[in-house]
Amino acid sequence: MVTIPEDMDDLIYFTRRADGDIKTMAWVYKKKCPKCKKAKMGKPKDPKTGKTKIRSKEYICPECEYTEEKKEHEEQLTVEIQYTCTACKKTGETTTPCKRKSFQGVQSYVYTCNDCGEKMGVTKKMKKPKKKK
């Protein structure tokens, strides 16, 4: 169902989390240019240093120079996730849209377990979800 990445250069986002027996690995592949369909879209590079401008608000095609706004571009992508469920402890794979939602008070990519239906999330910046009272 999901394809494990071979090269980090093909990815926009990657994370690997572990909390005891619970393991999660999530990634987002770069999208091909919708105009020329030859190269993969990415953030622009600084002409002086050659490094990627990580805070850029746009994605650009290195072949044809086609640009897309960051928000518009990222809404078309999907997050691929390999996980161990927090409730039933079974492993599984799933995909979810690349859009963060508020889950237990923290911005997360929200997905559900294929076996038991438990809702889980890949949090932003390794934040811990808030505990229920």
The whole-number pLDDT of residue 3 equals 87
pLDDT digits (tens, 9 = 90+) for 58-68: 999 988 989 99
The domain ranges of the chain are 1-30+77-127, 32-76
The whole-number pLDDT of residue 2 equals 83
What is the rounded CA–CA span in Å between residue 80 and residue 12? Answer: 12
What is the rounded CA–CA span in Å between residue 12 and residue 104? Answer: 25
SS3 for 70-81 is HHHHHCCCEEEE
The whole-number pLDDT of residue 16 equals 93
Helix count (H) and strand count (E) of the chain? 1, 9
Nearest to 79 by CA among 7, 9, 6, 15: 15
- This prediction has a pTM of 0.85
The whole-number pLDDT of residue 44 equals 92
The whole-number pLDDT of residue 126 equals 76
Contact 28/11 with Cβ under 8 angstroms? yes
Low-confidence ranges of the chain (pLDDT < 70): 132-133
The whole-number pLDDT of residue 132 equals 63
